[in-house]
Amino acid sequence: MRACVPLIVAMLCSLTWAGKLDSCASRCNEKFNRDAACQCDHRCSWHWDCCEDYEHLCTAEEDPKEPEAFLELEEEAEEAPASNLYSAPNSCRGRCHEAFHRHHPCHCNARCPEFGNCCKDFESQCGHEGFSRSSDAITKAELQGISEKIYRADINKAQKEDIVLNSQNRISPSETRDQVDHCPEPLFTYVNEKLFSKPTYAAFINLLNNYQRATGRGEHFSAQQLAEQDTFLREVMKTAVMKELYGFLHHQNRYSSEQEFVNDLKNMWFGLYSRGNEEGDSSGFEHVFSGEVKKGKVTGFHNWIRFYMQEKEGLVDYYSHIYDGPWESYPDVLAMQFNWDGYYKEVGSAFIGSSPEFEFALYSLCFIARPGKTCQLSLGGHPLAIQTYTWDKSTYGNGKKYIATAYVVSSTR
């Protein structure tokens, strides 16, 4: 009987250890563990392999730690030139009510909460001065509520019979750097292209070829291409999706009129800035929806329509995926690996089957409500997180920031 005791103890210990590897209890911020069933490091949301209790145990409820965005961010977050007028350019100490200065990396005036460019210690340093960041904050519950309304309003989305997807082989996050084609067949077996005749789809597709994908080469738009930007904004604003978004932001006192909202969307998405050596070589829209190539790697490129059209032309080779969302109808989410005409994308997340206005609305919502942070939403009862980043080297208007990137980072379980 005694001989069995060590074996039983070993089995119990083994089960206990296995249980630990299924949970983030006592594992928050540990390094990647190849033997674990799930992960608890700060990169797990990016690699889609967090344990189920990661959000509960390892992140703050309303202000989760920003994940690293590996290929997405690259040099986009380099700070703007710091001013020599004060000794702590990233702090509000001694700067409350200071006038806006475009070269300051962050700000401390009454309007910085509106523009999303306050210094991190703004509230602690300036809250007693009569204004506070938290008073106008959009809550997580409000974000989840409006995202569900936008989800239900997307009547232009693909139906199940409109797309036949062939996702094939799923790989582990640790395999994404191998650049191996695990899927011999295309991702899209069939797409009902009648979708593309809908006004928002047609206007969106007209924009995709208006860009040079290589950073460092300036963008120069013709009058027709500029008109196509206006057409896209005009068409999406006719949809129930964008009407829901504007109504919500108007109620939140973010915009006083629809025209103000449209003007801001045009600036934040289509305004040009420089990611390379050429002035005006990039924009948020180009990066997120059309895709770019920088330093030999694909950056951005988060749109299923663009992917389908490039795959159809033989320019995209689908390699594999590491995540397939829980949605049983469209829009769904896929995080995949692919080669774009000779350049590799290690992890590229995209909504599948959504209308252009749906993606445009959710990314805009998150950039406005959680600029540079993780934005926690809800779609059809399933949680979803979107990460945005601000472009910090240049601004428009009175210090407002352009979109550097926006993409789905996780579906927290």
| pLDDT tens track for 252-294 | 999 999 999 999 999 999 999 998 777 898 999 999 999 999 9
pLDDT at 47: 60
Closest CA to 394 of 295, 275, 236: 275
Share of the chain above pLDDT 70, in %: 80
pLDDT tens digits along 299-338: 999 999 999 999 999 999 999 999 999 999 999 999 999 9
- Model confidence over 164-211: pLDDT tens digits? 999 999 999 889 989 999 999 999 999 999 999 999 999 999 999 999
Burial class (CB in 10 A: 0-12, 13-18, 19+), 51: buried
Catalytic member of 104, 107, 345, 400: 345
Residue with more model confidence, 276 or 298: 298
Q: Which of 230, 150, 160, 238 is nearest to 198 (CA)?
A: 238
Task: State how far the Cα of 69 lies from the Cα of 194, in Å rounded to an integer.
Answer: 35
What average pLDDT is seen over the chain? 83
Strands 343-352 and 332-340: antiparallel
Predicted confidence band at 366 (pLDDT cuts at 50, 70, 90)? very high
Q: Give residue 194's pLDDT.
A: 98
Say what the pTM is.
Answer: 0.74
For residue range 42-69, list pLDDT tens digits in order: 667 656 677 766 756 775 433 333 333 3
Q: If pLDDT is split at 50, 70 and 90, which confidence band does 99 have?
A: confident
**Residue 333: what pLDDT?**
96
Q: What pLDDT, on the 0 to 100 scale, is given for residue 120?
A: 81
Active site residue 345: yes
Length reported for the chain:
413
Rounded Cα distance, 91 and 223, in Å:
43
Tell me the pairing of strands 297-299 and 292-294: antiparallel
Strand, coil or helix: 98:
coil
All structural domains of the chain = 4-60 (4.10.410), 140-410 (no CATH)
Three-state SS at 410: strand
Query: Measuring CA to CA, how many Å separate 286 from each of 214, 215, 250, 270, 300?
Result: 11, 11, 27, 8, 8
Token pair of 218 as six digits: 């300036």
pLDDT at 267: 97
Query: 47, 287, 294, 401: which is the annotated catalytic residue?
Result: 287
Q: What is the mean pLDDT of residues 76-101?
A: 54
Residue 86's pLDDT band (cuts 50, 70, 90): very low
Catalytic residue among 302, 373, 393, 401: 302
